[in-house]
A and B are shown apart, each in its own frame.
Chain A
Amino acid sequence: MKISEEMVKEIILEVMGQMQPPASASAPASTAAPVPLNLRETGDAVVGKDKNEVVIGLPPAFGNTMTQTIIHIPHQDVLREVMAGIEEEGLKARLVKVNRTADVGFIGHEAAKLSGSGIGIGIISRGTSVIHQRDLAPLQNLELFSQAPLVELETFRAMGRNAAKYAKGENPSPVPVRNDPMARPKYQGLAALLHNKETQLVDRHKSTKELALA
């Protein structure tokens, strides 16, 4: 079956139309988009020497043109929980902005390569995330959270905790990941739009930058 652009747009509009009412009814707070994060670039990202750090890689739109995940978790809370998970295990979190791609695997891998411990986390704006290790191929992973609509606040905390445990050489049990066959039909259109928005700020020629969270 051929799918034309018009058909896709139609479907997306329809899906969006269906999603709008319950979203606004159940969570009134989420209708007002959270404010952008105060993420400041502090120069080119360098490979860390600290064995006790986990690097979190973010795409340029994160906390910037986009401020919440596909299920309306504010990016501020995402970062707070991931970083709390790392801190609770006694490690440090470092943030970098990966400019040249919007692919979660490559962002995670870039973060891992910059990390002194060799462990990195990639999180893209809609919530899809990965725990990565520098010796792996970009499309491999230690743990993958592939369905953004199922990545919740607790998942982000656990993600940070597990990444820190890998960095310590411990043997964490993988974060339980739910699988919902309906997530795809329900969110695919929205995810496509969000991906479109994500890629707008990607610049293939721009290097990865160090970020400071004010």
Chain B
Amino acid sequence: MVLIAGVDIGNNTTEVAVAEVNDRGEATFRGQSLVRTIGIKGTMRNVSGIIDALDQALQPLQIPRKELAGVLLNEATPVIGDVAMETITETVITESAMIGHNPTTPGGMGLGTGITRSIADLGTASTDQEYIVIVSRETNFQLAADLLNQAVNRGVRINGAIVQLDDGVLIHNRLSQPIPIVDEVRYVDRVPVGMFAAVEVASVGRSIEKLSNPYDIATLFNLEADQTRNIVPIARALTGVRSAVVIKTPRGDIQERRIPAGSLTLIGDKATVQVPVDEGAEVIMDKVDEVQPLTEIRAEPGTNVGGMFETVRRVMADLTNQPVGEILVQDIIAVDTLVPQQVQGNLAGEYALGNAVGLAAMVQTQKLPMQMLARKLQEEIQVPVTVAGVEAEMAIHGALTTPGTKAPLAILDLGGGSTDASLIQESGVVRSTHLAGAGDMVTLLIDKELGLDDLDLAERIKFYPLAKVETLFHLRHEDGSVEFFDAPMDPRLFGRVVVMSELGPQPLPVQDPIGRVAEVRRKAKEKVFVRNSLRALAGVAPGGNIRLIDFVTLVGGSSLDFEIPKMISDVLLEYGVVTGRANVRGSQGPRNAVATGLVLTSAGTGYGS
């Protein structure tokens, strides 16, 4: 009877399984543990994390580390991924052509047109002209309303106003004749005076109708057909906002500009294809599928993508003591996303959603570093350490301890950096694949799309369901259900969108309504995990046909997510594939599959004797 430990070093967590093996080669599991991986998977820095994990697993058994007969490491081909975001379009306003933004409280409603005029010059305004009045911060709301009322009494026709401060409702409430007012126009001094302009404000809960339609703009401004074509981007930028101003200036224009983002060269076994990143994720991924199996991906030097690839390779080279030239990027996943971006030449701090492509790249290296890691660990703990099996193979052996499973079986290992799949035939033959892009990429997408600039916060949004604190005694979960509390909650939670973590509700410093946050989160998970699951399974399925797989078990940290398993399950159902989350050894859930598999396969090869 000897005691052995299987150690699985993952991208984010290091897991250990400890078992007693008798002389017939049967393993009895005695303990397990899980700690955060220190450093990048498969590198020297992992050692302290492994020792910590071993101690945690052995501590309840009251067994010192040196009584272990052996420690088994997975042959973790170090995989590191990096994620980057490439913005490929931006909106540029030349001169002052439009203001379209969403101040929460514009004044009045409807559409007004006229010649722009400063409120200071209203005294000399003529009565046979229609005006749009510009109110800067020097004029307070009471004075502005008085001046507007005086002018109207004098017979001046005022059809709308553009206000610098958040005074729209205040001015409107004090007017004798209601007009639409767009407020919070920060750079009101850039609005040209004496130009024809149109102001539109929609009622609460609606968005503008006229200024978001190019033909209505053409009607208002008497435009020719070719001029109308030029204002299409304006109309598009104003779609969905509650208030807007359009001003006709001699050369005023708005454009959507594409930013050159470099190109990727996909080198496959059979073909080599070049694809520009600004073509978007769809095109990139189509090309990736086209050239499968991939051997290497290169990025154009001197571009953002090139920089990202270089960083990944250099980090990997440093960590594994190999020349940079030997390190190849072997897989990428590209995802289309929209990133809020400040409009160039804006008047009111407007944001427009720019198209962006998110990329995750993965590097694979040789087995050499793993042997170095094993030797280092052996020195430290004075117990024989062996590199005992290929990760994906071990994972499937671990997954097969789930009650109710047998070969043939496919697994999806949903991790932090990579999505892996493997398939075991009845004969015991295992095929496996590693793909770039998993939990970390979802975090990045959430971070960018919500404009958070805080990966920890994005991680929390990814991990926990949302709720809205409606009073101090109740909150509404994102599915609409209500939860009551006997004691009042912390006042800092009042009115906030919160994540429901183990520690109770935690406030999120975001302005977006709960629905949008939830949608961004779900979309990000779908884009990465659904796409990658299909890619990975196609890679191991017989003849690349997912329909020929009957059962898929999910393992790995991201399969503990509260919604990813359902998303994958839903899409795989279309292929007639039954999906479920593994329950390793009937007790560990989707965790510990690789560590368990390591122990089981080694025990079978006569470790005990």
Contact = CB atoms under 8 A, between A and B. Distances in A.
B245 to A, nearest CB: 19
Interface in B513-530: 513
A87 B169 contact: yes
B473 A88 contact: no
A165 B495 CA distance: 9
A189 to B, nearest CB: 32
Nearest to B496: A171
Nearest to A158: B166
A87 B511 contact: no
A89 B169 contact: yes
Nearest to A157: B166
Among B468, B472, B473, find the residue whose CB has the most chain A CB atoms closer than 10 A.
B472
A173 B509 contact: yes
Interface stretch (A21-29, A135-143, A197-205): A135-143
B413 interface: no
Given A171-B496, A171-B511, A173-B511, A133 B169 contact: no
A84 B141 contact: yes
A91 to B, nearest CB: 10
Contacts, number: 51
A166 B168 CA distance: 20
A123 B488 CA distance: 24
B170 to A, nearest CB: 5
A172 interface: yes
B242 to A, nearest CB: 13
Interface string B462-493: 00000010111100000000000000100100
Interface string A166-181: 1001111100000000
B167 interface: yes
Contacts of B587: none
A142 B168 CA distance: 26
B497 interface: yes
Interface in A61-117: 84, 87-90
Contact of B491 (A89, A90, A140, A172): A140
A142 B169 contact: no
Interface in A155-169: 157, 161, 165-166, 169
B511 A133 contact: no
Nearest to B490: A140
Contacts of A161: 166
A179 to B, nearest CB: 17
Indicate the size class of the contact surface on chain B.
20 to 34
B105 A90 contact: yes
Given A87-B173, A89-B105, A173-B511, A133 B491 contact: yes
B470 A142 contact: no
Contacts of A84: 141, 167, 170
Contacts of A88: 105, 166-170
A52 B50 CA distance: 59
B494 interface: yes
Nearest to A85: B166
Interface string A118-134: 10000000000000010
Among A88, A89, A135, find the residue whose CB has the most chain B CB atoms closer than 10 A.
A88
Contact of A141 (B170, B491, B495, B510): B491
Given A88-B168, A169-B495, A135 B511 contact: no
Interface in B444-474: 468, 470-473
B494 A142 contact: yes
B443 to A, nearest CB: 22
Among B488, B494, B511, find the residue whose CB has the most chain A CB atoms closer than 10 A.
B494
A84 B141 CA distance: 9
Nearest to B508: A171
Interface string B493-509: 01111000000000001
Interface in B357-391: none
A169 B509 CA distance: 16
A27 B21 CA distance: 87
B280 to A, nearest CB: 33
Interface in B24-45: none
Interface in B167-187: 167-170, 173
20 contacts: A84-B141, A88-B166, A88-B167, A89-B104, A90-B105, A133-B491, A135-B471, A135-B472, A135-B488, A136-B472, A142-B491, A142-B494, A166-B495, A169-B470, A169-B495, A171-B495, A171-B496, A171-B497, A171-B511, A172-B495
The 5 closest A-B pairs by CB, nearest first: A135-B472, A88-B169, A140-B491, A88-B170, A135-B488
Interface of B: 104-105, 141, 166-170, 173, 468, 470-473, 488, 491, 494-497, 509-511, 513
